[in-house]
Structure 1
Amino acid sequence: MNAPASKRSWINWAAIGAAVLIIGGIGYQTLTKSVKAPDVTFISIDGQKISSADLRGKVVMVNFWATSCATCVKEMPAMVDTYNKFKGQGLQFVAVAMSYDRPDYVLNYTQTRQLPFKVALDSGGDLAKQFGDVAMTPTTFVIGKDGEILKRYVGEPEFPALHQLLQKALTAKG
């Protein structure tokens, strides 16, 4: 014997509601689980090695970008302003050029724009892989003093919110 249509409808809605709660719970756990930044060594365009160990205890922004990326080029002046605003409080910044970006283009862009922070090349794509297979540019990570990734931005960040996050991270005990 089949249940009346109204009862079947209620059961269907209850099942959908339960599924949404389960998926939402998994998503919440995934989003709230702290993730450590990978242990990497950046090679700057001037050949300097910058290891994760060198950056421990500091707030760090890692920005994956490319000279061929219109959004990256558009956001770069705001990234420079952000770095200049917070470097005195200890912010470290590494701009990582994607593996497909020509090193001579990266060097030219860095010099002509007088980028004030470290610029690294990801020639083999290893850094992008270690940071979770970064494929979209720009992608920016904010890493806390404890090495935890505080935020991952894909695309241009909302700078007032980014500045609030940086201020909080920089003044936190580490």
Structure 2
Amino acid sequence: MTHRIHIDHSRPDGNAPAHDAGRRRLLLGGAGALLSLGLAGCQSKESIALEGVTVQHLDGKPVALDSIKGKPTVITFWATTCPGCVKEIPHIQDLHDKYAERGVNVVGLAMSYDPLDQINAMVKQKDMTYTIWQDKTGRGAEVFGPVRVTPTTFILDREARIAYQKIGLVDMDRVEGLIEGLLESA
């Protein structure tokens, strides 16, 4: 015969002990964090307000950020000092190599704190042939969220609506599937 022992942790006032309340808060916080990560693939119905926002070309000249409209776009916010960003460069380059001729913009938008000379050195060192701009004023990062963590990648449809958003390294199979879907819907 097996005996089960049940220990009642409730207090006389009917409240759970403090350690249970702390555990509950931790679980709810973790669930909230997972929910926010799960929303990383959500699609937006409104276009991002890119009009009037300028970033900087590697030669220092301004570029209108809304110049990406009209084509599906992969835009990744990155920094030369970010190990994950550097690790992702070959994958972003592969996207450019595979989809540029099919009309997809692939853009690396370096964060405002990244010095232009350091960005140019990385572009040369890593043989990055996709579009690289610097978000010199930080305004680009602001209109996208704001973006505070790198790498952060967005896939936009032709109207600059978010089809995908990911903080951290991207799932290349998922990204390619989304790009193919955007190209087919044209």
The residue aligned with 1:36 is 47
The answer for unaligned runs of 5 or more in structure 1 is 1-23
Deviation, 1:92, is 0.6
Q: Does 1:84 align with 2:91?
A: no
The answer for unaligned runs of 5 or more in structure 2 is 1-34
Q: Does 1:56 align with 2:69?
A: yes
Which one of the candidate residues 130, 134, 142 is aligned to 2:155? Answer: 142
Q: Secondary structure at the match of 1:62?
A: strand
Which whole-Å deviations, capped at 9, do the CAs of 1:18-54 have from their partners, x for residues lacking one? Answer: xxxxxx9xx99xx555231231333211245443443
Deviation, 1:146, is 2.0
Q: Does 1:105 align with 2:115?
A: no
C-alpha spacing 1:102/1:47, structure 2 compared with 1 (3 Å): closer
Q: Distance in 1 between matches of 2:138 and 2:103?
A: 28
Conserved 8 A contact 1:63-1:96: yes
TM-score of the pair, normalised by structure 1? 0.76
Structure richer in helix, relative to its length: 1
The residue aligned with 2:137 is 124
Which whole-Å deviations, capped at 9, do the CAs of 1:69-92 have from their partners, x for residues lacking one? Answer: 000000110110011111111011
Conserved 8 A contact 2:55-2:137: no
Please identify, of 121-130 and 81-90, the stretch whose mean Cα deviation from structure 2 is larger: 121-130
The one-letter amino acid paired with 1:34 is K
Deviation, 1:149, is 1.1
The residue aligned with 2:6 is none
The residue aligned with 1:152 is 165
C-alpha spacing 1:130/1:114, structure 2 compared with 1 (3 Å): same
% of aligned pairs identical?
29
Q: Distance in 2 between matches of 1:169 and 1:106?
A: 30
- Structure 1 vs Structure 2 CA RMSD: 2.0
Paired residues, number: 146
Which whole-Å deviations, capped at 9, do the CAs of 1:104-141 have from their partners, x for residues lacking one? Answer: 11010011212111111112211111111100000011
Conserved 8 A contact 2:109-2:132: yes
Instruction: Report the structure number with the largest CA radius of gyration.
Output: 2
